[in-house]
Amino acid sequence: MPGMIETVLRLNKWLCDLDDFNADEVLQLISDPEITILQAAEALGAIEEIAPAKQDLMRSYLESIPPACAAAGFAAARNALGRGLRVQLTWQPAAAFEVRVWDVSDDQLQQGMVNVFILSPDPEVPARGS
Report angle CA 9, 69, 41 to the nearest 5 degrees.
35
Burial class (CB in 10 A: 0-12, 13-18, 19+), 40: buried
**Beta bridge pairs of residue 103:** 114
Torsion of CA 71, 31, 8, 99, to 10 degrees: -20
| pLDDT mean across residues, the chain | 90
Tell me the pLDDT band of 129, cut-offs 50, 70 and 90.
low
CA distance 29 to 35: 9
- pLDDT-derived band at 2 (thresholds 50, 70, 90) equals low
Region 7-20: mean pLDDT is: 92
Domain ranges of the chain: 2-120
Higher pLDDT, 89 or 128: 89
Q: How confident is the model at residue 35 (pLDDT cuts 50, 70, 90)?
A: very high
